Structure formats: C-alpha cells, structure tokens
Amino acid sequence: MFEHIKRVPGDPILGLIDAFNKDTNPNKVDLGVGVYRDDHGTTPIMRAVKEAEALLVKNETTKAYIGSHGDPRFGKAVLPMVLGDDSPVLAANRASGTQAPGGTGALRLAADFIRVHLPGKGIWLSDPTWPNHLGLFEGAGLKVGKYPYVDAENRLDFPAMMDAIRQIPAGNVVLLHACCHNPSGFDLSAEQWQTVLDVVRERDLLPLVDFAYQGFGDGLEEDAYGARLLAEQLDEVLITSSCSKNFGIYRERTGCLIAVAKDTEQMENVRSQLAITARENYSNPPAHGGAIVAEILESAELAAMWRAELTEMRDRINGLRRDFVEALQPFGLAEKFACIAEQRGMFSYTGLSPEQVETLRSEFGIYMVKSGRANVAGLSRDNLAYVAKAFAAVSS
C-alpha cells in the first residue's frame, strides 16, 4: 500500500543546519535557522523560565488532563499580555483564549475553525510569508490567496499590499503579521495599521493576526499596536500568539488562539466550538510551557526578570542591525543595506540573490536561506566584520 509514496526532500532549513554542522570552515556563521542566538551562538534558557520550572517541579500536584482550552491560568496571563492590561476588549469580556501547541497549533486551530464555521472562505497571505503558512492552511482545506508585501527593490510595498487586500471578496480572511514580519522584517507603521483597519472594515474581512514575536521588535506593548487596534475597533478578530520566541520555550509548544467576538454571548459560542476543534485535533495542549508562562506572568518578580531578559535580547538584535549596517559603511554599502537597520525582529530580507547566498555559503561558510533571509541574531561582535566583508565581496 505504501509503494506509491515518494520520498520528498527534507525541510531546506533543516538541510542548512546539517550542512552547517558538517562545514569545517572555522569562520562559519549560521544566519539560517529561526531561533534566537546569544553572543556565544547558543539559544539560552531564560533565567525566569528556569526559576519558574523549579517552582513547577516543586509545586505540581497532578498530571491529569488540563482540558481543551488549556490551563486557565495561562489564558488569564496571556490575554492581557497580548491585548493590554487595560484592554477594553477584556473589560467587555469579548475575548477568549485557547492554549495551543505553539503558534503553529494556534494557527491550525484557526484554520480548522475557519473551514468549519466560515465554509467556502479562503485566507490571503502576504507574499512572501512564513513558508509553513501555505502548507498549514492548504492542509486544513482552505483556499489560499496572496497579497504582495515586498517590492523588487526590497522595500515594503504598502500601496500594492492594500490594492490587493481591497480586492479580497467580503467575508474572507486576511492574515497579517503583528510585528517582526517573517521573513522580511518589514513592519507596518501606526498609520499603515489604521489604513489596514479601514480597509478590513470596509471590505468586511476577518483579520487573522499572527503574533509570533511579541517583544522582539520595539517592545511588548509597542509590538502589539496593530493587534490591539484591530481587536478594539472590530467586532471579530482572530489572533495567534506564540510564546516560543519571547519566552525562549520553542520545544515546549506553547501558544494561544485568541478569538475576539462582538460580545460575550458570541465569544462564548465561538469558544465552545474551539474546544471541539482542539479536542478533535489533539484533545489537550501540552501543559508544561503554559504553566511556565503563567508562573512567570503571575509573579511580579519573575515577570520583571523575564521582561529584562527579553529587553536584552531585543536590544542585542536591534544593536546588531545598526552595527552591521555601520560595518558595511567602509565598503560603500551602508545605504544599499540600510533596510537591515530599519527592519524588526530576528529576520531580514537582505535583498541578496540565491546565487549570492550560494557564494556566501561556498566561499565564506555563511549560511542563509536561499530567499536571502538572514537571522540577524546569528551575528555577533566577533563575526560582524567578517560577514560585512563577505557581503561586500558578493555584492561587487
């Protein structure tokens, strides 16, 4: 029965990790894989997470199921983080949180919910977007459309984006990256979010806001601007929040699908359906990551420690962005790559071609995704000048 099944190539990013590990170049630099790195090239466990885990081990009394919506403590802690402590949406009790296995799990819940409850509706994704979006939504049986996001000069093409979104038929879903757009790093300004809001309202679209990097751009509150604006101004919004990056708990699979509805009654109706969606997918989400997040956010002391560590990570990335552009100055390339300092989050679209990316790998041991996406967190004080020199060599 399995004879017809063909082998497919593995995930190109995983292939990149493999090639990087095998590379004997002592100067090799990994700008490929999408996890945060510190100056030593490691992905550390945050101190607040370690402390929360110690408390959990000590105080946990049961491993019984936590229910399809997950740990209520997690929901209570994450909703204000995403929507704001003084959120009118929370005051009106019109937002529901369903803990999910990572941001990916939350997206899949959203996709299944859309397929079942908005039958025949499709979802429009930015082009480019996180590659898994496509497989995930198509896999869930949704029709997928695209709107342009980056122009040929490697700039955010907001007019083209909005022209395309204006063409989406009413009642369909548009996916928006809340901040730290993956893969481009180009984010929307407050004014641009306002335009998105106006068009979404005018066209009667349902926004699905993918919020995978809260705190990695300009700050926990600043990064939430667009998500909060839409949630406060619209009757209906879906938000998928991931705790993988901002708590550094990638493998604990911790995320949340937030469903904002017109009023409490409709929110409770949607919530009851989401319990079924979750149950039919995986029954209950894994508990550990949600418990870590709740433990941290419920404790003033741990929350302050976590925020300080998150600030450190964000400042490191944004500092590297500026320093890298400065390191390109002597080669006359600071202007060409100025966008790297303006982009936000871990990723940058560098504008390098697949050929240039290949030369960086073969001649300099610098590993990036073929699209020209670089993980800025893979840079460090030690390799910055080397990478700048290599960029100059392939750009000449």
Catalytic residues: 130, 210, 245
Is residue 279 a contact partner of residue 117, using CB atoms and an 8 Å limit?
Answer: no
Q: Does 34 bind ligand PMP (CB under 6 A)?
A: yes
Please give the residue whose beta carbon sits closest to ligand PMP in the complex: 102
Q: Does 241 bind ligand PMP (CB under 6 A)?
A: no
Burial track 212-248 (b if 16+ CB lie within 10 A, e otherwise): bbbbbbbbbeebbbbbbbbbbebebbbbbbbbbbbbb
Q: What x-and-dash track marks residues 129-148 binding ligand PMP by CB under 6 A?
A: -x------------------
Q: How many CA atoms lie within 13 A of 230 on its CB side?
A: 32
Among 68, 87, 242, 277, binds ligand PMP (CB under 6 A): 242
Q: Shortest gap between Cβ of 23 and ligand PMP (angstroms)? A: 23
Q: Using the minimum distance from each CB to ligand PMP, give the nearer residue, 187 or 388.
A: 187
Q: Does 207 bind ligand PMP (CB under 6 A)?
A: no
What are the φ/ψ torsions at residue 67 (nearest 5 degrees)? 95, 160
Among 126, 182, 246, 348, binds ligand PMP (CB under 6 A): 182
Q: Shortest gap between Cβ of 244 and ligand PMP (angstroms)? A: 4
The site for ligand PMP, by CB under 6 A, has a size of 13
67: left (phi over 0), alpha (psi -120 to 50) or beta: left
Within 246-275, which residues bind ligand PMP (CB under 6 A)?
250, 255
Q: Where are the beta strands (DSSP E) in the chain?
A: 29-30, 95-100, 123-127, 144-148, 173-177, 206-211, 237-242, 255-260, 347-349, 366-367, 373-375
What are the φ/ψ torsions at residue 30 (nearest 5 degrees)? -100, 105
Q: What x-and-dash track marks residues 74-113 binding ligand PMP by CB under 6 A?
A: ----------------------------xxx---------
Q: Strand 255-260 relative to strand 95-100: parallel, antiparallel, unpaired?
A: antiparallel
Residues that bind ligand PMP (CB under 6 A): 34, 102-104, 130, 177, 182, 210, 212, 242, 244, 250, 255
